[in-house]
Structure 1
Amino acid sequence: MSKLSHRLDGFGESVIRKMTRIANQHGAINLSQGFPDFDPPKALIEELQRVAIEGPHQYAVTWGAQNFREALAKKQEHFMGIKLNPDENIVVTCGSTEAMMTAMMAICDSGDKVAIFSPFYENYVADTVLCGAEPIYIPLKPPTFNFDKEELEVAFKAGAKALILCNPSNPTGKVFTKEELLDIAQLVKAYDAYVITDEVYEHIVFEPYKHHYFASLPGMFERTISCSSLSKTYSITGWRLGYVIAPKVIIDQCKKVHDFLTVGAAAPLQEAATVGLKLEDDYYKELTALYGKKRELFLSGLDSIGLKYFKPEGAYYVMVDIEEFGVSSDYEFAKRLIKEVGVAAVPGSSFFKEPVNQYIRFHFAKKPETLELALERLTQIKKHF
């Protein structure tokens, strides 16, 4: 038989999703794949119940229902400080995963190069390869996970057409400072490049840190494809509602990709989620406070157990240093953690281009009682390793 696509030769199962599957097999507490075990806002659930009866149940406009895009434009204008046209600057996608792929395919040709900070969310490399592009890696250096501007410039000198910027960062929880973003902006302009942002954790940033939208920097809207979703902000990861925000010339390209990739996001879910986009500012303040308490609870527990970690500035992940256990494989460590301790984490090597083997990633988007039970189990970790 003819050979199958060579683009997939280096691909395996998503490590994050694999950890979830193994956790389910062993009844472990899943702190690997980042989804909550608590309900979305009541207003969204009530609206979803109404929509289930009244509809809509057929296709929405391919690039997003009009009322959804209008509500999204108004909400993002408020937070980004940029005037947005719901018809010209937005494409609604099936989650931010599709948003990222749509953005990549809209600007990248086969043979192009894309700069990626390491550590990175695993989809970025897959997106790059599936587009026929070549990834170039720039290390983020622990413990602060800052980058070296000269090393970043090397990537642009090598021909990087775009940089993928996850802010706040998954997996580290790093929040890029305005000064760092301005350094990136300077290089992007100098080398006539684009930035594709992943900002799904834009509303989960802890004091004293602050999220700055890259597209809001002087002269950067024209060079930025902003990708995000409703998944983390409204605790609806299963609804798969994401979006791309960009200048019209880029959005026109994104519309073509999206149309032939998925046709459109689910119409009833867009209708139900529109009420979430209209929530007042207090909701986002309460969301930050909620995750701040979860972070405090979980990190305090790790302190009591004696585990070392990098304190997250945003998002809801924490990278834990397991070097003290002398393990040769973080993947095997993570599997044993599930089977013997009953808590699931992601092996850190899945996020790094560098040969890193001493980290695992937990998430804390769980009810307090779930986190407390996970911490109780983790008190046994040093008996097993």
Structure 2
Amino acid sequence: MIAINSKLPQVGASIFPVMTGLAIEYKAVNLAQGFPDFPTSPQLISLVNDYMKKGMNQYAPPAGILPLRERIAEMTYSLTGKNYCADTEVTITAGGTQAIFSVIEAFIRDGDEVIIFEPAYDCYSPNIRVHGGIPRPIELAPPDYKIDWEKVKKLISHKTRMIMLNTPHNPTGTVLSKSDIDELIKIVKGTDILILSDEVYEHIIFDGKTHHSVAKYPELAERSLIVSSFGKTFHTTGWRMGYLLGPDYLMAEIRKLQQFAIYTCVTPIQYALADFMAIPDNYLSIKEMYQQKRDYFAGLMKNTKFDLLPVAGSYFQTAHYNKISDEGDYDFAVRITKEFGVATIPTSVFYTSSADHKVIRFCFAKTEETLNKAVERLMKI
């Protein structure tokens, strides 16, 4: 065996394939990994097929085809008032995770510090560390997972290169408020701190709340890279299609690296998405659809011993299980997968400290049949 020096020696398999693997092994209902189990639009699938038949099967430009970038810019302007240049400020990526990797790769150097808010999507910290950066986590706690901006101020130093945001938030389903944005603006004013804003659930927000994209605020937009995902919006997580928005001088650095990593993304899918997005209702209507699913799932869960926490966006529902067990959340999640046939995600895995608040995460991006089957089993716990 050849000796190597691992860049991530403490990192094993992500929790998502672990729990999905258990779900398959024990024939459990998979409410763990965040993917819909209902079909995407037949129209969108037909468009992809049509463009394949038309011969759009060769390389697209590294930044993505211009028609798709134009649709993204138009959508963003209509929703935020921010006018991004489709030519220089919009880039198509191989999903949201690759977009996050590319931003960190472009701007984080040895010793740079990056403030993240935990629980955090599990790619954040490893991506920072593999590029020589230092994650500086701030822990958020249930039930509201509010950011203490005084703690953020105390963490800011000359080494702070970036602040990472996620709204609507995975795994908690919380959203940033206008007051959060106001505090952030004050903190970064007069600094060279960049913002990476993970907004992949931008269209999934509930109860009349507002999605406070950093694109809406010039003081933030000028220093921000925004990540989004067609997989989350159009129920096509396996297509691995996302995009980045940001100022041209920042985007230029990302494009330099991306062309040597993935070069480009799937061409016929890009053309299909460009056509599909020409009808705004195709992305605006999913808010109502997911709110119905959230409410339906919450109604069913009233018949269990789980205590649901507030969820304002995303397609995830967190819940306390204090009334059921004093086990650690990882052990609890594994046990109910094996014994009751429902797979979930323990939220402690999203904390650097493995903070265990006895909270697990359910994905409700499922058919009513799947949700009914899952809750029938959860009622037995």
Query: If the length of structure 1 is used for normalisation, what is the TM-score?
Result: 0.95
Pairs aligned (count): 380
1:347 pairs with 2:341: no
CA distance in 1, matches of 2:119, 2:190: 25
Describe the superposition over 1:101-126 as per-residue Cα deviations: whole angstroms up to 9, x where unpaired: 11111211121110000111111111
CA distance in 1, matches of 2:375, 2:44: 31
Partner secondary structure for residue 7 of structure 1: coil
Letter in 1 for 2:306: L
**What is the Cα deviation at residue 91 of structure 1?**
1.3
Question: Which residue of 2 is the match for residue 143 of structure 1?
Answer: 143
1:285-364 matched pairs, under 5 angstroms:
285-357=284-356, 358-364=358-364
**What is the Cα deviation at residue 254 of structure 1?**
0.7
Higher mean C-alpha deviation, range 116-125 or range 44-53: 44-53
1:3 pairs with 2:12: no
Q: Given that residues 175 and 312 in structure 2 are in contact (C-alpha distance below 8 angstroms), is that contact kept between their aligned partners in structure 1?
A: yes
Partner secondary structure for residue 209 of structure 1: coil
Displaced runs of 4+ in structure 1, greater than 4 A?
A: none
RMSD, aligned CA: 1.5
Higher mean C-alpha deviation, range 320-329 or range 47-56: 320-329
Partner secondary structure for residue 37 of structure 1: coil
Letter in 2 for 1:370: T
1:277 pairs with 2:289: no
Q: Give % identity.
A: 33
User: Which consecutive residues of structure 1, in runs of 5 or more, have no partner in the other structure?
Assistant: none
Higher mean C-alpha deviation, range 162-171 or range 18-27: 18-27
CA distance in 2, matches of 1:369, 1:193: 47
Cα distance, 1:285–1:68 mapped onto 2, change above 3 Å: closer
Question: Which residue of 1 is the match for residue 211 of structure 2?
Answer: 211
CA distance in 2, matches of 1:326, 1:371: 23
Partner secondary structure for residue 283 of structure 1: helix
Higher mean C-alpha deviation, range 332-341 or range 29-38: 332-341
Question: Which residue of 2 is the match for residue 367 of structure 1?
Answer: 367
CA distance in 2, matches of 1:289, 1:24: 31
Describe the superposition over 1:297-340 as per-residue Cα deviations: whole angstroms up to 9, x where unpaired: 11112222131121211001111112333343322221221111
Higher mean C-alpha deviation, range 247-256 or range 355-364: 355-364
User: Which consecutive residues of structure 2, in runs of 5 or more, have no partner in the other structure?
Assistant: none
Describe the superposition over 1:136-165 as per-residue Cα deviations: whole angstroms up to 9, x where unpaired: 011223211111111011221363211110
**What is the Cα deviation at residue 259 of structure 1?**
0.8
Question: Which residue of 1 is the match for residue 120 of structure 2?
Answer: 120
Higher mean C-alpha deviation, range 302-311 or range 242-251: 302-311
Question: Which residue of 1 is the match for residue 238 of structure 2?
Answer: 238
Q: Given that residues 234 and 276 in structure 1 are in contact (C-alpha distance below 8 angstroms), is that contact kept between their aligned partners in structure 2?
A: no
1:178-217 matched pairs, under 5 angstroms:
178-217=178-217
CA distance in 2, matches of 1:136, 1:158: 13
Query: If the length of structure 2 is used for normalisation, what is the TM-score?
Result: 0.96
CA distance in 1, matches of 2:269, 2:354: 41
Question: Which residue of 2 is the match for residue 89 of structure 1?
Answer: 89
CA distance in 2, matches of 1:111, 1:85: 33
Higher mean C-alpha deviation, range 217-226 or range 348-357: 348-357
Q: Given that residues 40 and 234 in structure 2 are in contact (C-alpha distance below 8 angstroms), is that contact kept between their aligned partners in structure 1?
A: yes
1:50 pairs with 2:61: no
CA distance in 2, matches of 1:5, 1:272: 43
Partner secondary structure for residue 305 of structure 1: coil
**What is the Cα deviation at residue 190 of structure 1?**
4.0
